[in-house]
Amino acid sequence: MAATRTFSIIKPDATRRNLTGAVTKMLEDAGLRVVASKRIRMTEDQAKKFYEVHAERPFYGELVDFMTSGPVVVQVLEGEDAVKRNRDVMGATNPADAEEGTIRKAFAESIEANSVHGSDSDENAATEIAFFFSDDEIVG
């Protein structure tokens, strides 16, 4: 099967605890290759737009505050079946439900501060990659 791409964010709770390398190592050990990466401070506008699908949820405002509370590392990951591979190594949204060996089991602080984002479909991956990266920033 050909390699595909997905979009990942190492969230502020993880950068605050200096876990960028540890999280990236788990992604790489899961068979994913980092083909683009940058550390940014997400603006409120970016966070609102990125999580627009959750705009009606009660946690939306807090989620936007959390995602803009510190640096994040946005990444493009490449590998066989990249979206699923990444979702598998991320673990469940709520760390209380995450399986052993997953990033969220190892590092997440709460259902909100859960260390990583990963696209949930190929279509969303393409949209999310284009939201943060230009083509020339991605080096496969």
Tell me the catalytic residues.
117
Positions in the binding site for ligand IDP (CB under 6 A): 59, 63, 93, 111-112, 114, 117, 120
Three-state secondary structure along the chain? CCEEEEEEEECHHHHHCCCHHHHHHHHHHCCCEEEEEEEECCCHHHHHHHCHHHCCCCCHHHHHHHHCCCCEEEEEEEEECHHHHHHHHHCCCCHHHCCCCCHHHHHCCCCCCCCEEECCCHHHHHHHHHHHCCHHHCCC
Closer Cβ to ligand IDP, 6 or 24, answer by number: 6
Closer Cβ to ligand IDP, 93 or 137, answer by number: 93
Closer Cβ to ligand IDP, 45 or 59, answer by number: 59
> Least CB distance from residue 59 to ligand IDP, whole Å?
4
> Least CB distance from residue 25 to ligand IDP, whole Å?
20
> Least CB distance from residue 15 to ligand IDP, whole Å?
14
Closer Cβ to ligand IDP, 1 or 9, answer by number: 9
> Least CB distance from residue 111 to ligand IDP, whole Å?
5
Determine the distance from the C-alpha atom of residue 17 to the mean position of all C-alpha atoms in its chain, rounded to a whole number.
16
